[in-house]
Amino acid sequence: MQAASGKWQEWRFVLIGLVVAAVAAFVYGPGLGLPFYSDDMYHFRWVETHDAAELLLPSSSFASYRPLPSLIWYLWRHTVGFYSPAGFYALNLLLHIANSWLVVALTRRLNAGTSTWLPWAAGLVFVLYPFSYQAVLWVGALTHLLGAFLILLALLFYSRGRRGDWGWMAASWLAGLLAPFANEAGLTVVGLVLLYEWAAPRAATKAQTATKAKMITRIAPTLTGPVLYLAVWLGWGARGPAGLLERMGQVEQLLQKATYFAQGVTFPLQFAAARFADQWSWSVGQAVGWGVAISLAALALCYARLGWWRRFGLGWGWAALTMLPPLVALSAAYVDTAPRLLYIPSVGVACLWGWAVAGLPSTQRLGLALRTGALALILLPSLAFLRQRIALFELVARPAQQAVEVSQASPDDSLLFVNLPAWAAYKENAFPVSVEGVAFLPGYVGMVDFVWANTGLDVDVQAATFANIQQDQPYWYGSWGEAQDWETLGRAIRDVDRVYVALYGEEEIRLVEAGGVGDSATARPLARFDGGISLLDAQATPESDGLTVVLIWSTEEHPEVGDAVFAQLFDEQGRLVSQADGLALANTFPFWLCQAGDVVRDVRWLPAPGGLAPGEYRLLVGMYNIGSGARRPVWGDGGTRFADDVAPALSFGVDR
């Protein structure tokens, strides 16, 4: 019976791991389709221009010293091939799953013989910790995932080695040696080991009849990693420590950072605190403070019931120790926009809240329902939050990915991308403090580097921001590239072969081709508009959800025309199916910017959800004054004025 029970315990542990992995894959799986973004391009350019030995040493180009992630990218580049977005995001996800398994394993060892809820609860809270989205969904955040992995390995191996197995202890020392070189939080490994030694089951310690000397022998080697890391970092004159003492003396900034980290530890009740803050006009400090106070009371009641004060201290201590490096080294403005900094502390947070579930009052009949309900109250808001963040990533990533595909398909063309999203955020925050949006394309990274990192091609591409055509949306957003006015954007358009514009909608941001400006025309016009503008040609390509129309315009002289163009699509019954109004090139190039002899390729998108039904269609084109709405007169090539000043540009059929 005991053997069967032990076997079931092992299988249950495996089942826990599979469930946790499935949840992680469900939540973060869509991230496998993201392109490289943010600092990824900068990191990869650095890897390309340095050998492995150089990557292992500090550099004045970086404020931090994290050689192991760079070395992993270097090894991938020189063994597998060029950098792979899907491969690197898969690596992040696998590390997140592995870390969740290590949390489950460590919880199981620390609480052997107690509640079977603990591994389940801690592992699921860790996987669904809301602030982990930036770490898992950003290749550049590998440092946090890898740092957590090595720290957890060091603690788990230590828990095995403290029973007298020096092989496990040596493995713990090795993991602890490497941890700081993955992330600065690895400097706290010694403190975490001491914390674990203090919180570990007392019976196990007595069984070993361990003396203080033996304990020192076990723990002292874990100092090797931090000492070596600091010796290398400081010895090579890196600029990382610069300003450290100054930041530590800024009390207001320290309080701001401490408030952010306190919110991260007490996240389950901070969802509600944010709602009450809006309703009762609380300040950020009041909202977070109430969330912290109620969390402390609730956690204390749960832990007091079981007398688990050392485990209570372990959860808080882990979070506090691993938050210490960014707390003292980084600015408050940086911390508030970097939820990834909470990834390694989230191990302690997950244990703190996961273990609390086991301490809930219960009866034989209601215990399961009560604990399941409590766990759901912790996990479901986090799950909803993570799904919203991933939707935000997909929103900004789609046009960026389309830009990559266009550049890859036309490597010899010069391209201009207008209003690609640089960042986006929902207008309502889920937490009292923090910027919860997605920072995707920073201003210090160029479009050339972005395309290169995602394709390996060095192409002639540019990005520009044109605020004149931006519209309010249900979310906040910012565009990538230098801001342009009409004249400067017009010159930029003339310098490239094709222009693409990001069109913002409530549920998607779509990159569409807008056209280009050339200087050669030989065709006879289909229509001549008053003011010296001629329509030379019209083409239409049905798409799965609309119609792409290309209008070719020419100018005989410098026109003083600021009119908008309308393109209307009618079916064979004469019903209006779709239309596209606006200035040329997706509202970026009014005709008054034209010069004599210009040929303007004006690409327009006519939406038709579900696609065009089979049948015959007519495309009519005209121009109108934006202020008065009066249509501009238009004549056919033979000199006859078109009725209603609408030129029949094209007739075509869609196959049945």
Q: What is the pLDDT of residue 205?
A: 45
What is the SS3 assignment for 459? coil
Domains of the chain by range and CATH? Answer: 2-359 (no CATH), 401-513 (no CATH), 519-656 (2.70.50.60)
Question: Structure tokens of 213?
Answer: 């000397």
273-282 long-range contacts, CB within 8 A, separation 24+: 273/431, 273/432, 274/429, 274/430, 274/431, 274/432, 277/432, 282/432
241: its two tokens = 């420590």
- Contact in structure between 100 and 126 (CB atoms under 8 Å): yes
- What is the Cα–Cα distance from 96 to 142, expressed in whole angstroms? 10
Is the per-residue pLDDT at 156 higher than 80? yes
CA atoms within 13 A on the CB side of 584: 30
CB-based contacts of 297, cutoff 8 Å, min separation 6: none
Share of residues in the chain with pLDDT > 70 (%): 92
Listed range (215-224, 232-241, 329-338, 465-474) with the worst mean pLDDT = 232-241
Residue 395 has pLDDT above 60, yes or no: yes
- pLDDT band, residue 523 (cuts 50/70/90): confident
What confidence score (pLDDT) does residue 70 get?
Answer: 95
pLDDT of residue 161: 85
DSSP bridge pairs for 647: 621
- Best CA proximity match to 78, nearest among 43, 105, 118, 51: 51
Instruction: Assess contact for 57 and 417: CB atoms under 8 A.
Output: no
Q: Write the pLDDT tens digit of every residue in 242-266.
A: 445 555 557 788 888 999 999 999 9
Among candidate residues 523, 513, 527, 518, the one with its CA nearest the CA of residue 650: 527
Residue 359: pLDDT above 60?
yes
Q: Would you state the structure tokens that stand for residue 349, as one six-digit string?
A: 């947070």
Reference 565, options 492, 501, 649; nearest CA is: 649
Indicate the DSSP class of residue 443.
Answer: T
Whole-model pTM: value is: 0.91
Least Cα distance to 181 among 150, 154, 152 occurs for 150
For residues 150 and 229, give the distance between their C-alpha atoms in angstroms, rounded to a whole number.
Answer: 15
Determine how many CB atoms are found less than 10 A away from the CB of residue 476: 12
Residues in contact with 303: Cβ distance below 8 Å, sequence separation at least 6, in sequence order: 309, 311, 312, 355, 356, 359
Residue 113's pLDDT band (cuts 50, 70, 90): low
Strands 421-426 and 475-479: antiparallel
Mean pLDDT of 555-582: 91
Which of 194-203, 387-396, 626-635 has the least mean pLDDT?
194-203
Query: Between 515 and 2, whose confidence is greater?
Result: 515
Distance of alpha carbon 44 from its chain centroid, rounded? 18
Question: Could you give the CA distance from residue 604 to residue 566 in angstroms, rounded to a whole number?
Answer: 10
Residue 207 has pLDDT above 50, yes or no: no
Average pLDDT of the chain to the nearest whole number: 89
Residue 309, φ and ψ in degrees, nearest 5:
-70, -30
Cα 135 to Cα 141, 143, 389: the distances in Å are: 5, 9, 12
If you average pLDDT over residues 411-427, what whole number do you get?
95
